[in-house]
A = this chain, B = another copy of it.
Amino acid sequence: MTTPVHSHSPAPVLKVGVKPPYELVCSTAFLLKRLGMQVKERTMEAYEAIGASPYHYSVLAVLEEGARDTQAKIADALGYDRSWLVGLLDELEEAGLIDRRRDPEDRRRHLVSLTPPGKKKLAELRKISKSIENEFLASLDTAQREQLHELLLKVASDHDPRLASGSGENAPA
């Protein structure tokens, strides 16, 4: 065999001249699915390139806002499975980015906090996140990006009231 000619990854093969059905392109839901998957893929790749993952970024971001420093709260805030969070925290702890110690008041619990290197890392990951988003939305100008974000947030808040701006502690600052 010469080389695996068939590189049919389900995502973007982009055979010119063969386009998806007009009917699907007209569907906002279809576009949402497609774009969601694409941006997820790109994000993954970008983070993996530096030995991290988008999940690391999310966890660190949660920790910086504090007030959700037990593992259960972190998991709930991000909608992660608690058992899955464990592995993430292991990695972050091993890298010295977080601190995990028992809660003296309830020795079942772990109090998780950001270390100074963790804060630095967060800043780094944040930068990557911004640049990915910037690149992904390159075809939109500033006003359009704001418009898009507003519309998406409206829909998302409708399905998950927790996202609604204003309500809650961890607001803009």
Binding site for B on A (CB under 8 A): 6, 8-29, 31-40, 43, 58, 61-62, 64-65, 68, 73, 75-84, 126, 129, 132-133, 136-140, 144-145, 147-149, 151-163, 165, 168, 170-172
Q: Are B19 and A73 in contact (CB under 8 A)?
A: no
A19 and B170 CA atoms in complex are apart in Å by: 8
A59's nearest neighbour on chain B, judged by CB, is B21
Identical copies in the complex: 2
Choose from B139, B162, B171 the contact partner of A18 (Cβ within 8 Å): B162
A19 and B21 CA atoms in complex are apart in Å by: 38
4 residue pairs, one from A and one from B, having the closest CB atoms: A36-B36, A139-B158, A19-B162, A31-B152
